[in-house]
Structure 1
Amino acid sequence: MRTSVAARVTQHTIAYLFAVVSLYPVFLMVISSLKSTIEIFTHPLSLPSKVSFSAYKKLLGEMPFGTYFLNSVLTSTVSMILILVCCTLASYYIARTRYKWNGALLFLFLIGLMIPIKLGIVPLFLLMKDLGLSNTPWSLIMIYTAIGIPLGIMILSAFFRTLPKELEEAGRIDGCSDVQILRMIIIPLMRPALGTVMIINFVTAWNDFFFPLIFIQDTVMKTIPIGLMSLFGEYASDWSTLFAGLTLASLPMILLFIFASKQFMDGMTAGAVK
């Protein structure tokens, strides 16, 4: 009994230590946004001597941060929805139909995980230019969707195979079509996998710096990572405003994680009951 209590205390202590180590950079980012740039360099790890929201006022008043924020929301959300729709349909076909080419089809999708997409940046740039999508959010949406589909299909197709086929057979007996079975029976049980795919692809698109730097030139089309780059000057950088922007930019990811975590737990409970 004592051994189990000691082991539990040890586990909780280690878990709390990991939580502190993980959350401390976030805490440091928030308190740095409430300091001046001089205080950040003189007392980087201390609490602000005087709480100041001037960095947030400058960020929201003198910079088009709202435009950057909406552009990031648009590209990340639309690409995430397209990935979920495409991966769900393709994974259902691969996992539930029996054709000799299914293995080759799955391998074809997984090739996308093996080849770095940045190697094809020149053909991609020329393709977007020829399609008239350069310097528009749709160039980023198409690229993020293409990047996310291989991993999404790998996760969802593996999850599809763990679901019992008796659920689908029962739905067909009740007169459901394949679309109704997928929408009313399969997708509610797939919340854990869908939540995982959602978080991975949203964070990837939200934090991406490389592709917006290549495909976006106009200020009104820039996303948050590219927009905040203007705070880095040749001789000086506005670190307090930068930390304020990073703090506001992290809020959607935190909310998405909380939402997806709830869906994850609900999906596990629904699967256990059925």
Structure 2
Amino acid sequence: MMKTAGESKKKGWRQAGLYTIVWLLAILFFAPIVIVILNSFKTKPEIMVSTIGLPEKFNLDNYVTIFTNNDFLSSLWFSVIVVVATTTLTVLVSALAGYALARWKSKFSSAIMLIFMTTLFVPFQVYMVALIVIARQLSLTGSPVGLVLIYIALGMPVPIFLYRSYAATMSKEIEEAAAIDGCSRIQMFFRVVFPLMKPITATAAVLNALWAWGEFLVAFLVYGNHKPMTIPLSQQYFYGSYNQQWNLIMAGFVISTIPIVIFYILMQKHIVKGIAAGAVKG
């Protein structure tokens, strides 16, 4: 009994220690978010005095200024369009490519998949200059279409890997039955295969949307200062050489985060399921 009580006490201390570590990590993670939200309700002089203190009053002047700024609202809608187009096309192309590579049993398919995955281990800075040169030669710079196409190219490797891994475990009997019913390969994919890939589709959509929404460097290099801008590009104009409008910057951060947070909350239940289905099964 003494040994059992000691073990129980030791286990309790271990759990208490783990809970403490988890709470400390949660505080460290959420502290910057809380500071940004609090400072979005402050005036600029208040922020200069203290960035971690509570505002004297929770006024909405910063948010009113942001919402009455036509450039910011146009940037918000432009970002939504870019992210929706990028995510939709990335998911569609990746699903087709992943399914094709899974069904194509050949050394060439394995080599192609290896090439796709290799790009994940090469830092963007290594091929950044070559990418911009090619984009200029193809007249893709300064164009929303060019920006979306480059986003699609950069965002495909992980979704292709997930789709290929998932498709490799799918039963071929369903596809054979669809073929017997007279479905062509394309009809079979969109009517039978693609609906069965819902968990992977949700995961790929969330991951690509999160990345495209907050991406700055590629947009800056490819799209530049053309208007309307994406949200990350528009944020830089609140920074001046001698006058940083931190109150508006913080309010802009909060507003620009809301759409993607809502999208993540709606789709979060599919993320772990999709990653497990695509990675563990493969």
- Scaled to the shorter chain, the TM-score interval is 0.7 to 0.9
CA contact (8 A) 1:137 1:221 kept: no
**How does 1:187-198 map onto structure 2 within 5 Å?**
187-198=194-205
Q: Does 1:22 pair with 2:33?
A: no
Q: Which runs of 5+ in 2 are unaligned?
A: 276-282
Q: Does 1:183 pair with 2:190?
A: yes
Residue in structure 2 matching 1:40, options 25, 47, 53: 47
Letter in 1 for 2:189: L
Q: Does 1:143 pair with 2:150?
A: yes
Deviates more, 1:84-93 or 1:131-140: 131-140
Deviates more, 1:222-231 or 1:112-121: 112-121
Deviates more, 1:121-130 or 1:241-250: 121-130
Q: Does 1:216 pair with 2:204?
A: no
Letter in 2 for 1:198: A
**How does 1:46-65 map onto structure 2 within 5 Å?**
46-62=53-69, 64-65=71-72
What is the match of residue 155 of structure 1? 162
Change (3 A) 1:50 1:118: same
What is the match of residue 210 of structure 2? 203
1:113-150 deviation digits (Å, cap 9, x = unpaired): 23334433344334333433321212211111110111
Change (3 A) 1:60 1:21: same
Residue in structure 2 matching 1:168, options 175, 184, 189: 175
What is the match of residue 113 of structure 1? 120
What is the match of residue 251 of structure 1? 258
3-state SS of 2:227 partner: helix
How far residue 240 of structure 1 moved from its aligned partner, in angstroms, is: 0.9
Change (3 A) 1:111 1:46: same
3-state SS of 2:64 partner: helix
Change (3 A) 1:42 1:142: same
State TM-score, norm by structure 2: 0.81
CA contact (8 A) 2:94 2:163 kept: yes
Q: Distance in 2 between matches of 1:220 and 1:53?
A: 27
Aligned alpha-carbon RMSD (Å): 3.1
1:3-51 deviation digits (Å, cap 9, x = unpaired): 6x95888777765655444333323222211111222232322332201
Letter in 1 for 2:150: I
How far residue 233 of structure 1 moved from its aligned partner, in angstroms, is: 1.2
CA contact (8 A) 2:87 2:208 kept: yes
**How does 1:122-137 map onto structure 2 within 5 Å?**
122-137=129-144
Question: What count of residue pairs does the alignment treat as equivalent?
Answer: 270
> Which structure: larger Rg?
2
Letter in 2 for 1:60: F
CA contact (8 A) 1:135 1:221 kept: no
Q: Which runs of 5+ in 1 are unaligned?
A: 269-274
State TM-score, norm by structure 1: 0.83
What is the match of residue 279 of structure 2? none
Change (3 A) 1:91 1:260: same
CA contact (8 A) 1:71 1:137 kept: no
Change (3 A) 1:174 1:27: farther
- The alignment-based identity, stated in percent, is 27
